Amino acid sequence: MAETLACNDVIYAFDRTHEPVKRVASGTTIEIETYDCFENQVQSAETKIGGIDWDRINPATGPIFVEGAQPGDVLKVKIDKLEIGSQGVMATGPDLGVLGHRQEEMASKIIPVEGDYAVFDDKLKIPLNKMIGVIGVAPEGEPVPCGTPGAHGGNMDTTLITEGATLYFPVFAEGALFALGDFHAAMGDGEIGVSGIEVPGKATVTLEVVKEGALRHPLLENKDGITFLVSKPTLDEAAKAAVEEMADFLLTRTDLDVADLAMMMSAAGQSQISQIVDPLMTARFFVPKYVLEAYGVTLFE
């Protein structure tokens, strides 16, 4: 039976000085409940989005102290299962997202979840892509608000962070201090309107310490391949840094030189956008599984 953590204990910033709300051994499977990104403040169309408490945005459940995790290690997080609530909410407005300059007032929408679809309106049903928006560990330096991504993870808003994926985070603080929240029933790459279909939910994850894994940014693995997730002030910086992270990672695990690696990544890799609306932009670089198999690449021993 998996351990459990209710959403009563939340943080609004990832911070190495936080007291953990739970301690677990490496290898523990735990069920973590979450609020939606508005801390469940919007339950009906009658709730005015502009009137909610904006200091209670993007709460993450935790932090969890993982025994044995030390700075310089890697925290492996396998997403075993994602469950979401029966309705979601979206919001947008002036100065929010890419189209915020074309809006004069805040707007929100309640979106029911029915079966495998989110009911956007009487004409459109959107297939579910259950995913986690905020997930990560304590950062190396100053606290980072949960709404901001970084090398520690945080609000990366990446559609690949879903059931069956495994994330690897660099550990910056003893115990890693892991937390997650901000689930989406569905979200497009970019999250251009500043919200996905925001839902409460529950994640079942397995937390494992990998000793001396030596990562600088989060790495994601799924059935299709591996992806580095990098957040920077501009999308250009994030996209280029994600390529550099992948190159450095593969240079130590293949017999390719930089020229061959550049050609291989240009032919088989993919530069992709995660989100372009948070305080930092998040991009990713993907390399498919068949490339890893061809060169006998293993992630961590």
* SS3 of residue 120 by DSSP: coil
Question: Which pLDDT value is given to residue 213?
Answer: 83
Give 179-225 pLDDT, tens digit per residue: 999 999 999 999 999 999 999 999 999 999 999 788 999 999 999 99
Alpha carbon distance 162, 220 (integer Å): 10
Task: Tell me how many domains the chain contains.
Answer: 2
Q: Out of 210, 239, 274, pick the residue that ends a domain.
A: 210
Contact indicator for 273, 228 with CB cutoff of 8 Å:
no
- pTM here is 0.97
Question: Which pLDDT value is given to residue 34?
Answer: 98
Contact indicator for 151, 216 with CB cutoff of 8 Å:
yes
Alpha carbon distance 292, 158 (integer Å): 22
* SS3 of residue 278 by DSSP: coil
Same domain, 202 and 248: no
Matching residue, tokens 């520690």: 152
Give 249-272 pLDDT, tens digit per residue: 999 999 999 999 999 999 999 999
Query: Alpha-carbon dihedral of residues 257, 263, 264, 265, nearest 10 degrees?
Result: 100
Residue 187, domain member (yes or no): yes
- Angle, CA of 78, 249 and 257, to the nearest 5°: 150
Residue 300, domain member (yes or no): no
Alpha carbon distance 129, 197 (integer Å): 10
Same domain, 47 and 106: yes
Matching residue, tokens 């939910």: 201
Same domain, 202 and 229: no
Give 38-55 pLDDT, tens digit per residue: 999 998 888 888 888 888
At residue 241, φ and ψ (nearest 5 deg) are -65, -35
Same domain, 127 and 17: yes
Alpha carbon distance 189, 275 (integer Å): 6
Q: What is the mean pLDDT of residues 143-150?
A: 98
Q: What sign results for the dihedral spanned by CA atoms 176, 138, 11, 146? A: negative
Same domain, 275 and 129: no
- Is the pLDDT at 301 greater than 70, yes or no? no
What are the respective helix, strand and coil percentages of the chain, to the nearest 5? 15, 40, 45
Q: In this structure, what CATH number is given to the domain that contains residue 50?
A: 2.60.120.580
Is beta strand 270-275 parallel, antiparallel or unpaired with respect to 178-184? unpaired
Same domain, 132 and 248: no
Token pair recorded at residue 67: 């025994």
Same domain, 159 and 278: no
Token pair recorded at residue 249: 């990672």
Q: Out of 176, 210, 244, pick the residue that ends a domain.
A: 210
